[in-house]
């Protein structure tokens, strides 16, 4: 397979940020023929840094379709799990997020980097030390906060009680044993206390339905009581789309409010889908990480130590919101106003 010099160089920089050293073992995990070029280039980059490296390729099969969280080909595959747990680092191109298997690999001290975006997105959103600093600052604030509130001119006003769950950071690389990250990325997030989320969220045109890879076209009002969505309404088709999609999982826990945070990657673009027209391969990291979003979501909380492992996960990045942690304002109308996380010059 032909190796592109630009790809090799970028992936070598990425693995250098991840602290890959001679003698370490970097396993590239793929399914079927997905991401073969990226997998090949990551192995070449790992080899350049003196690491042992190989590709563990598994069959995805029908039940493990992309987009269904926490259901993947490692379930019940003990030899593959043993191999992954013996690595220094796993590059995950299968999508283990929200699975018990990912938690098990991390618990063995293996750092995991998820990479499931096309090269142009990896290049566009490439992480920096400054992004890490700002994302870790956000993590520190979330760890101390007891309440998060976000509002919007469209009528959103919702409060999360915090403190029960840990906070996770995603800045696009990982060098600590057992730590997971996602290349590319750029936000921190946590989960409201069990039963401790109440209010109203109003999705507006231009907000993003990541599961469908499309923009909201018509306002949708979600009423939340004690951490669960109890009503979804709206004049247009979006409210029906969201409700029908959630109902298709036949799981009442799909109505739970999931992780909450805000985007800090100034190189990510909310309008990415409109620019590239590459919906089938374009994943959603631009949407999840764009600077100044509120990343509202529904579904599982397994990743943060909760018990909800519903397979239905909706990430709903929102624009033009205001956000406070206790009485400290972080966002004003979709702009980061906190000086420690603000970027003055954006591309
Ligand atoms: Fe999510």
Residues 150 and 29 in one domain: no
The pLDDT of residue 64 is above 80: no
pLDDT at site 66 = 47
CA of 259 to the centre of ligand 1 (A): 7
The rounded Å distance from CA 302 to ligand 1 centre is 11
Over the stretch 325-336, which tens digit does the pLDDT of each residue have? 999 999 999 999
User: 159 C-alpha to center of ligand 1: Å?
Assistant: 19
- Beta-sheet strand order (sheet of 260-263): 168-170, 187-190, 260-263, 294-298, 314-318
pLDDT value of residue 2: 67
Q: How far apart are CA 47 and CA 40, in angstroms?
A: 11
Q: What's the rounded mean pLDDT across residues 62-89?
A: 78
| Residue 280: pLDDT band with limits 50, 70, 90 | very low
24 CA from centroid of ligand 1 (Å): 30
Q: Is residue 241 domain-shared with residue 108, that is, in the same domain?
A: no
Domain tally, the chain: 2
The predicted-structure confidence for 241-265, as pLDDT tens digits, reads as follows 999 999 999 999 999 999 999 999 9
Tell me how far the alpha carbon of residue 215 lies from the centroid of ligand 1, in angstroms: 16
Q: Does 343 map to a domain?
A: no
| Mean pLDDT, rounded, for 48-64 | 86
How far away, in angstroms, is 151 Cα from ligand 1 center? 20
* 278 shares its domain with 318: yes
Judge if 65 and 142 occupy the same domain: no
Instruction: Find the 6 Cα to ligand 1 centroid distance in Å.
Output: 30
Classify residue 121: in a domain, yes or no.
no
Domain-embedded: residue 347: no
Residue 327 has which token pair? 């009485």
Residues 205 and 71 in one domain: no
Residue 286: domain span: 126-169+186-336
Both 112 and 132 in one domain: the answer is no
How far does the centroid of ligand 1 lie from the alpha carbon of residue 211, in Å?
10
- Work out the average pLDDT over 158-174: 97
pLDDT at 176 over 60: yes
**Per the domain annotation, does 32 fall within a domain?**
yes
Query: Do 143 and 67 sit in the same domain of this protein?
Result: no
Are residues 98 and 13 both part of a single domain?
yes
How close is the Cα of 345 to the center of ligand 1, in Å? 28
At residue 104, the pLDDT reads 95
Ligand 1 centroid to residue 276 C-alpha, Å: 22
Q: Is the pLDDT at 278 greater than 60, yes or no?
A: no
Q: Which of 81, 98, 116 is the last residue of a domain?
A: 116
Within a domain: residue 58?
A: yes
Residues 145, 41, single domain; the answer is no
The pLDDT value given to residue 275? 76
Q: Is 175 within a domain?
A: no
Give yes or no: residues 262 and 237 share one domain: yes
State the DSSP H helix or E strand holding residue 26, giving kind and residue range, or none if neither: strand 25-31
Average pLDDT score over residue span 125-144: 98
Q: Pick the closest to residue 176 from 88, 94, 276 (CA basis).
A: 88
The pair of structure tokens assigned to 212 is: 């469908």
Q: How far apart are CA 122 and CA 58, in angstroms?
A: 24
Least confident of 60-69, 181-190, 229-238, 299-308: 60-69
Q: How far apart are CA 108 and CA 86, in angstroms?
A: 8
Asked whether residue 14 falls in the same domain as residue 111, the answer is yes
Strands 187-190 and 180-182, how do they pair?
unpaired
Distance from Cα 228 to the centre of ligand 1, integer Å: 16
User: How far does the centroid of ligand 1 lie from the alpha carbon of residue 96, in Å?
Assistant: 13
Ligand 1 geometric centre to CA of 212 (Å): 13
Q: What mean pLDDT is predicted for residues 216-244?
A: 97
Is 165 a domain residue?
A: yes
The CATH code of the domain that includes 94 is 3.40.50.2300
Q: Report the pLDDT value the prediction gives residue 276, as an integer from 0 to 100.
A: 66
Ligand 1: centre distance to CA 51 (Å): 32
Rounded to two decimals, the pTM is 0.92
Residues in contact with 240: Cβ distance below 8 Å, sequence separation at least 6, in sequence order: 234
Please indicate, yes or no, if residue 344 is contained in any of the structural domains: no
Band (67; pLDDT cuts 50, 70, 90): very low
Cα 313 to ligand 1 centre (Å): 7
**In whole angstroms, what is the distance from residue 343 CA to residue 186 CA?**
13
Do residue 266 and residue 212 come from a single domain? yes
Q: Which of 73, 88, 116 is the last residue of a domain?
A: 116
DSSP state string for 214-241:
EE--S-EEEEEETTEEEEEE-SSHHHHH
Distance of CA 67 from the midpoint of ligand 1 (Å): 11
Segment among 59-63, 210-214, 330-334 with least mean pLDDT: 59-63
Structure-token match 């590709």, residue found: 55
How far apart are the CA of 40 and the centre of ligand 1, in A? 28
């Amino acid at each position: 397979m032909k190796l592109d010099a630009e790809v090799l160089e970028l992936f070598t920089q990425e693995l250098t940020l991840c602290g890959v050293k001679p003698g370490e073992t970097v396993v590239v995990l793929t399914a079927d023929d997905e991401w073969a070029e990226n997998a090949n280039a990551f192995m070449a980059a790992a080899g350049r840094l003196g690491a042992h490296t190989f590709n563990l390729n598994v069959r995805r099969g029908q039940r493990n379709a992309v987009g269904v969280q926490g259901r993947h080909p490692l379930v019940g595959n003990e030899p593959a799990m043993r191999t992954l747990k013996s690595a220094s680092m796993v590059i995950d191109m299968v999508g283990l997020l929200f699975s018990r298997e990912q938690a098990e690999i991390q618990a063995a001290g293996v750092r995991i980097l998820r990479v499931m975006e096309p090269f142009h997105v990896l290049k566009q959103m490439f992480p920096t030390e400054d992004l890490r600093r700002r994302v870790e600052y956000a993590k520190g604030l979330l760890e101390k906060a007891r309440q998060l509130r976000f509002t919007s001119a469209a009528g959103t006003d919702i409060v999360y009680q915090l403190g029960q769950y840990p906070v996770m950071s995603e800045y696009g690389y990982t060098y600590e044993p057992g730590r997971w990250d996602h290349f590319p990325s750029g936000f921190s997030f946590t989960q409201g206390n069990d039963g401790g989320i109440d209010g109203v969220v109003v999705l507006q045109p231009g907000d993003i339905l990541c599961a469908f890879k499309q923009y909201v076209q018509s306002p949708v009002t979600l009423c939340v009581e004690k951490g669960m969505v109890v009503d979804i309404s709206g004049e247009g088709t979006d409210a029906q789309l969201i409700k029908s999609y959630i109902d298709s999982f036949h799981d009442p826990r799909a109505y739970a409010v999931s992780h909450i945070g805000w985007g800090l990657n100034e190189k990510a673009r909310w309008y990415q889908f409109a620019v590239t027209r590459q919906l089938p391969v374009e994943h959603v990291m631009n949407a999840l990480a764009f600077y100044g979003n509120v990343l509202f979501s529904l579904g599982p909380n397994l990743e943060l130590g909760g018990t909800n492992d519903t397979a239905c996960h909706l990430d709903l990045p929102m624009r033009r919101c205001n956000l406070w942690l206790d009485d400290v304002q972080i966002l004003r109308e979709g702009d980061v106003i906190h000086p420690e996380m603000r970027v003055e010059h954006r591309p």
